[in-house]
Amino acid sequence: MIGYDAIDPRFRCVLPFEAEPAEVRLLRRATVAQLGQWGVSSAAEEVELLVTELVTNVIKHVGEGAPATLILERRYERLRVEVHDKSRTLPAPVRAHCDEECGRGLHLLASLAMDWGTVLTAVGKSVWCEIAARPAAVCRRAERARGALERYREDHPVMAAEGRSKAVLLEESAVELIADLLHWTAARGKDPDDVLDRAQTHYEAEAAVAA
């Protein structure tokens, strides 16, 4: 929260709640509805999961019935999720071989969020996290590309290698696929640089809309 300026109230949603199991479903539903109004429904699955974990942590570690507040914000290219409660006990850091009670929620935040943290407030604490706010059109393009790259890699088993992450393999597949497309373009008598320039123009135009 430190360093954040005032936000347009149209992109800020404050949802007070009591830490009860039944509230989790209601908050998830409200979250999906709010993201739909902001045009970022593509992020709903991730945000729902984060809301579930943050609210569940309040129930487990602060106590059932404790008053708390969920805050959703859209800040340019990011979505921010905060849960405030009246306990000043900060969550324990994730440790190796940690069981569910000592940090599953924090581990999830670390794996899904672009950034996250905890802050002591005047009346308790806040746990917050941020993920990318991707409009549906951009998300569809990214998912379509991912599917194409996975199929491309399956057709080229020599590209698979042990000891490398799936993300690295997909990145290498992207380079190889682009190279193949440039060869195909040149074989048809077209200028590969022209194709790259046109693709870059399309990308920049859609990125500008998404910003």
Domains of the chain: which residue ranges? Answer: 9-132, 136-210
Tokens linked to 12 = 């800020």
What is the model's pTM? 0.60
The pLDDT confidence band at residue 209, using thresholds 50, 70 and 90, is low
Q: What is the mean pLDDT of residues 160-168?
A: 61
The span from the CA of 29 to the CA of 48, in Å, is: 8
At the top level of CATH, which class does the domain 9-132 belong to? alpha beta
Q: Which pLDDT value is given to residue 96? A: 44
Cα of 68 vs its chain's centroid, Å: 23
The span from the CA of 170 to the CA of 189, in Å, is: 29
Q: Which pLDDT value is given to residue 112? A: 78
Q: What is the mean pLDDT of the chain?
A: 81
Q: Which pLDDT value is given to residue 160? A: 53
The span from the CA of 73 to the CA of 210, in Å, is: 16
Return the residue matching tokens 């308790």: 124
Q: Is there a contact between 73 and 80 (Cβ–Cβ < 8 Å)?
A: yes
The pLDDT confidence band at residue 5, using thresholds 50, 70 and 90, is very low
Tokens linked to 40 = 């970022």
Most confident of 6-10, 50-54, 76-80, 131-135: 50-54
- 163 pLDDT higher than 90: no
The pLDDT confidence band at residue 138, using thresholds 50, 70 and 90, is low
- 197 pLDDT higher than 70: yes
The pLDDT confidence band at residue 162, using thresholds 50, 70 and 90, is low
Q: Is there a contact between 66 and 19 (Cβ–Cβ < 8 Å)?
A: yes
Specify the amino acid at residue 101. E
Higher pLDDT among residues 2 and 100, named by residue = 100
